[in-house]
Chain A
């Protein structure tokens, strides 16, 4: 039942807005919280989905959109806008369960409501030795037609590689 989930997330964001008073700080907190979720969620994902290691960013994009998003949010974003170097792509979300029933008021115009998702993706990928940058570039809450998350591969994290992965 996703109502409780939407309500819980909403309560979280509004409480953060009260606590921090400025949108930038709230965005940062959401990203941090998302990161803490991501580093734990990745193990659940790997344990349940039995997906093997991805050897390039395209595989990673596929796994994220078709398996991970489906598993945890019940949606399958589409993958578009690949950069020529193959190191950046966009996830287009037609609908976002976090923002059901939400409208952003004018005094929170720079709030990235679903920023938790960026942290989750960043944390999860870091645990499988990928450093990425994740950000929202379009948001239906801000009047855009779709919600677009841009993911950029920064580098492979070489320190503390599990044995056999060099």
Chain B
């Protein structure tokens, strides 16, 4: 049972806090000789595996490092284009590390802002008056729970679909926010939360919620 991440979104849709609480997925590092039997293609700012899944390398994995040096988007650490580099037989044998791409902070900001806009769809689509926005979003790998306060702040938790007690966790996070962020006079409202006490107490609350497991209080 696990809680994967916590996001806090301010009234304007800006991400003011983000915490990833899961162990990083294992990356796979393998040595290849020419020709490469993975089909790679560019996607946004990265190079991903399009076909040729094997040995722990999955379709959708991004190329994370070449010969031990981390890639910089679509370019190797020394500035060469990754696809060109891997197309040249002279560069082989080559060791490629691939894995699930981790979201950069910019991407998280954009996704939070997109969610903020989408959130309203819940109330707009509703046949009833006064409906809330999106409270839960479910996929096969996680459930996103969202709680919007009366003042417009959103607390978003991504957790394992079987994890229970997220409703009370969201309320607890609201309390932690009202204590360790708001009661800190040096914290300005709507700004990114950089309060250690908030971090610590939040992590504690996540651990308590995880221990409660699938039979915890709440939904």
Q: Which stretch in A3-11, A19-27, A38-46, A145-153 binds the other chain?
A: A38-46
Residue of B nearest to A51 (CB): B150
Does B123 sit at the interface, judged by CB under 8 A? Answer: yes
What are the 6 tightest A-B residue pairs by CB atom distance, in nearest-first order?
A163-B120, A164-B123, A162-B152, A44-B178, A40-B182, A43-B178
Q: Chain A: residues with CB nearer than 8 A to chain B? A: 39-40, 42-44, 46-48, 50, 52-53, 127-128, 160-164, 166
Q: Pick the residue among B120, B177, B178 that contacts A164 (CB under 8 A).
A: B120
Q: Which stretch in B17-25, B67-75, B129-137 binds the other chain?
A: B129-137
Contact A46 B12 (CB under 8 A): no
Chain A residues positioned under 8 Å from B163 (CB to CB): none
- Report the minimum CB–CB distance from B177 to chain A (whole Å): 7
Contact B149 A163 (CB under 8 A): no
28 contacts between A and B (CB under 8 A): A39-B189, A40-B178, A40-B182, A40-B189, A43-B153, A43-B177, A44-B183, A46-B149, A46-B174, A46-B178, A47-B149, A47-B175, A48-B175, A48-B178, A50-B171, A53-B150, A127-B151, A160-B11, A162-B133, A162-B148, A162-B150, A163-B119, A163-B122, A163-B123, A163-B133, A163-B148, A164-B123, A164-B148
**Complex Cα–Cα for A162 and B149 (A):** 8
Contact B179 A44 (CB under 8 A): yes
Contact B151 A164 (CB under 8 A): no
Residue of A nearest to B135 (CB): A164
- Report the minimum CB–CB distance from A69 to chain B (whole Å): 18
Interface band, chain B? 20 to 34
Contact A162 B151 (CB under 8 A): yes
Contact B175 A42 (CB under 8 A): no
Residue of A nearest to B174 (CB): A47
Query: Per-position contact with A for B179-190: 1 when CB-CB < 8 Å, else 0?
Result: 100110000010
Contact A43 B148 (CB under 8 A): no
Chain A residues positioned under 8 Å from B12 (CB to CB): 160
Contact B182 A43 (CB under 8 A): yes
Given contacts A43-B174, A44-B183, A47-B171, contact A160 B152 (CB under 8 A): yes
**Complex Cα–Cα for A42 and B151 (A):** 8
Which residue among A46, A50, A128, A162 has the maximum number of chain B CB atoms within 10 Å of its CB?
A162
Chain B residues positioned under 8 Å from A43 (CB to CB): 149, 151, 153, 174, 177-178, 182
Chain B residues positioned under 8 Å from A162 (CB to CB): 11, 133, 148-152
Chain A residues positioned under 8 Å from B149 (CB to CB): 43, 46-47, 162
* 8 A Cβ contacts from B154-207 to A: 171, 174-175, 177-179, 182-183, 189
Contact A128 B150 (CB under 8 A): yes
**Complex Cα–Cα for A163 and B130 (A):** 10
**Complex Cα–Cα for A164 and B122 (A):** 8
**Complex Cα–Cα for A3 and B130 (A):** 45
